[in-house]
């Protein structure tokens, strides 16, 4: 029985650090008035940036490893997160936060099944995605 490869410490630390703005902004969005609204807007913007970033990871993996026959499909899937993030920014804040939460869940499902990424990548992404989705849903419910 082979063991799964360990998540590299750099990926764990940097991924965890990337989760901190989600959590901080979700808590801050609970504040009353303008402060909470500003935090929820910042949460929306950060979520859009991260969703777009995940699409960029998929693009890079596809360029490096996809066979030419699968390249169209992989590259097409990689631009979808940026388009969804852009639409989320154009929607009213609650709808945008919900779209981002659903999109991050969908992105995780795609990424957990990819053969392009290293074996540790889905294990890194699961807790980060769950934390980000939870933060976006807090922002959605309290916006």
- Report pLDDT digits (tens) over 7-34: 999 999 999 999 999 999 999 999 999 9
Query: b/e for 29-51, b at 16 or more Cβ within 10 A?
Result: beeeeeebeebbbbbbbbbbebb
Please check whether residue 45 lies inside any domain of the structure: no
Cβ neighbours of residue 41 closer than 8 Å, sequence gap 6 or more: 93
Alpha helices in 66-120 (DSSP H): 68-90, 93-112
**How many domains does the chain fold into?**
1
Range of the domain at 84: 50-143
Answer whether residue 104 is part of any domain. yes
Q: Is residue 74 part of a domain?
A: yes
Report yes or no on 118 lying in a domain: yes
The better pLDDT of the pair 54, 69 is held by 54
Instruction: Give pLDDT, residue 19.
Output: 98
Q: Does 65 map to a domain? A: yes
Residue 70 lies in a domain: yes
Counting every residue written for the chain, the total comes to 143
Q: What is the pLDDT of residues 97-130, one digit of tens each?
A: 999 999 999 999 999 988 889 999 999 999 999 9
pLDDT, position 83? 98
Assigned domain for 124 exists: yes
Residue 111 lies in a domain: yes
The predicted model scores a pTM of 0.93
Instruction: Please report, for residues 30, 34, 42, 62, 74, the alpha-carbon distance to residue 79 in angstroms, rounded to integers and kept in the order given.
Output: 32, 34, 23, 11, 9
């Amino acid at each position: 029985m082979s063991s799964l490869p360990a998540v590299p410490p750099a990926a764990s630390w940097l991924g965890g650090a990337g989760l901190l703005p989600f959590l901080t902004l979700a808590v801050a969005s609970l504040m009353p008035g303008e402060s909470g609204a500003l935090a929820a807007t910042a949460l929306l913007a950060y979520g859009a940036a991260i969703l777009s970033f995940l699409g960029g990871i998929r693009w890079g993996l596809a360029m490096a490893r996809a066979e030419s026959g699968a390249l169209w499909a992989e590259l097409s899937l990689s631009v979808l997160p940026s388009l969804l993030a852009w639409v989320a920014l154009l929607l009213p804040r609650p709808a945008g936060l919900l779209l981002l939460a659903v999109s991050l869940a969908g992105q995780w499902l795609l990424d957990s099944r990819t053969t392009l990424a290293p074996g540790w990548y889905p294990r890194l992404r699961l807790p980060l995605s769950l934390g980000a989705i939870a933060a976006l849903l807090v922002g959605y419910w309290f916006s």
